Chains A and B, each alone.
Chain A
């Protein structure tokens, strides 16, 4: 399996205010092409910070050590300009709240156009075609209408799908999804998870999927790392984590979720 990204001993410390606080310590994992690694953790565990560090999005208030090797380049030491070129084209990030990922003042078509102009050499006509393609790929009905709308006129679920579409159309190698389903309602969440599954199958991309929700991670990830207060407390396949994990933190997470799920299954079976 081709190893796309290999992160080794990543440590991030906050050096603001003369106090040094460790955000994450000695994080190591790898992402393979066509596979998804799930990062499971609660608020404050450092999962978002890890990915921001890899993408070069942290400012000088943070000290980062370790390595993140992508195609023989260490992303943590690459210059700003190189990182900027990689971001969006080769490595795409999908963020938590889709409503805030779009500029509220511009229509959707303008925003897609902006992204495409930046990263491709397509002509205006080709860009319009691509924009429609994105929406159709995400099974959004009436794509022509949707293109002409403003972000606030669309639901969170739809915006998130457009975001995923935009990420895919550039054919990146790596997609980092940071809690993409958290701010979304249940039905759309289900549809978005399916989108990710399709992406994994068809496209040759590696995915890093960050979430605090076990059920979503269990569906998408091939391998899972569990973060607690900045440290990896467990690592393994989905099967291993859910059935054989020994770490008390992980077990607690699993047990709690199982309790709720079991009750649900019980009630459904009764009817």
Chain B
């Protein structure tokens, strides 16, 4: 078991506090459990506001939940730990965001963006890395030309910038990558290209993915299993993607149907 989340519950303080003492809270996540094995890709699908991005933040260590625990390789994430243990945890999982524009420091060149991950890797492993070489290697891995090394984020297209973000995510050699709507802001054909890249990297480096999206066709393209999020709850779990058409939950069925009918007038045969 690579990653296990148990009983995750997250509450945020409400904007309009009605009580004088105590807190008015809104439950964003209610008792969420998921499991991820090595080499698997799990899809988390739901609408905006369903809590999936918040859940993503909990899984990578950016948001401490009000209840529940996150275990990566048996290590508990939000518990007091030694520096060694903390470093091991942060190195195991990395993240690629939806908004690629704010994902990169606008003042950093491509080589600095990826370089930051390498600095962390160097510090954690104690082995010196030839950064220039490694950066060129990583750029090639994600299908980019080495000449982009000195460009700034605003000088790259959406697809290119997102590839740089993927490069820096794999630079720390994680076991798990969380993709938080990583392809949603890209054009349709670029989406497929990036998904192909992700599948390639997954095989090459034996990665596991947590793929958060609102697009069911992306889930079927990428994932081995999927959970449906609605209003902070998991309403359906599909442990084997080939059983997708058997979902029983009303929301899940609705989602399924809203895809099927937008299709091609394909010539048969």
**Nearest A residue to B251 by beta-carbon distance?**
A187
Q: Are A190 and B258 in contact (CB under 8 A)?
A: yes
Contact A256 B189 (CB under 8 A): yes
CB-defined contacts of B73 to chain A, threshold 8 Å: none
Q: A263-B221, A267-B244 are in contact. Are A252 and B267 (CB under 8 A)?
A: no
- Per-residue CB proximity of B246-267 to A under 8 Å, as 1/0? 1000000011111111111111
CB contacts (< 8 Å) of A256 on chain B: these are 188-189, 191-193
Residue in B closest to A270 when the chains form the complex, CB atoms:
B242
Q: Which residue of B lies closest to A238 (CB)?
A: B265
Query: Among A43, A189, A212, which residue has its beta carbon within 8 angstroms of that of B258?
Result: A189
Q: Which of B158, B189, B260 contacts A257 (CB 8 A)?
A: B189
Contact with B along A216-260 (1 / 0, CB 8 A): 101100000000000000000011001100000000110011111
Verify if B206 is at the interface (C-beta below 8 Å from A). Answer: no
A193 at interface by CB-CB < 8 Å? yes
Q: Check if B241 is an interface residue, CB within 8 A of chain A.
A: yes
Is the beta-carbon distance between B259 and A264 smaller than 8 angstroms?
yes
Query: A268 near B244 (CB under 8 angstroms)?
Result: yes
Q: Which residues of B contact A42 (CB under 8 A)?
A: 187-190
The residue among B243, B254, B259 with the most chain A CB atoms within 10 A of its own CB is: B259
State the CA gap A213–B185 with chains docked (Å).
Answer: 12
Asked if B217 lies at the interface with its beta carbon under 8 angstroms from chain A, I say yes
Contact status B188-A253, CB under 8 Å: yes
Q: Which residues of the other chain, B, contact A191 by a CB distance below 8 angstroms? A: 258
Within 8 A of A (CB), among B177-219: 187-193, 195, 214-218
Number of interface residues of A (CB under 8 A): 39
Q: A252 contacts which chain B residues (CB < 8 A)?
A: 189
Contact of A263 among B220, B257, B263 (CB under 8 A): B220
**CB of A103 closer than 8 Å to a CB of B:** no
On whether the beta carbons of B214 and A193 are closer than 8 Å, the reply is no
Interchain CB contact under 8 A, A187 and B189: no
B150 at the interface (CB under 8 A from A): no
Q: With A186-B216, A187-B255, A267-B242 in contact, do A259 and B192 touch (Cβ < 8 Å)?
A: yes
Tell yes or no: B31 within 8 A of A by CB.
no
Q: How long is the Cα–Cα vector from A146 to B18 in the complex, in angstroms?
A: 24
Interface presence of B245 (CB below 8 A): yes
Given the known interface contacts A43-B158, A260-B221, A264-B217, the answer about A242 and B264 at a Cβ–Cβ threshold of 8 Å is yes
In the complex, B47 has a CB within 8 A of chain A: yes
Expressed in whole angstroms, the Cα–Cα distance for A235 and B216 within the complex equals 30
B192→A43 contact, CB < 8 A: no
- Return B211 CB to nearest CB of chain A, in Å: 14
- Contact call A215/B263, Cβ cutoff below 8 A: yes
Tell me which of A155, A260, A271 contacts B218 (CB under 8 A). Answer: A260
Q: By the criterion CB–CB under 8 Å, are A216 and B264 in contact?
A: no
**Cα A136 to Cα B182 with chains together (Å):** 37
B45 nearest CB neighbor, chain A only: A186
Give chain B residues whose Cβ lies under 8 Å from the Cβ of A264: 216-217, 220-221, 259
B188 x A187 contact (CB < 8 A): no
Residues 139-176 (chain A) with a chain B CB within 8 angstroms: 155-156
**Contact call A190/B244, Cβ cutoff below 8 A:** no
19 interchain pairs (CB within 8 A)?
A186-B215, A186-B255, A187-B47, A187-B255, A190-B259, A190-B262, A215-B263, A242-B264, A242-B266, A257-B192, A259-B192, A260-B191, A260-B217, A260-B218, A261-B264, A264-B259, A267-B242, A267-B245, A270-B245
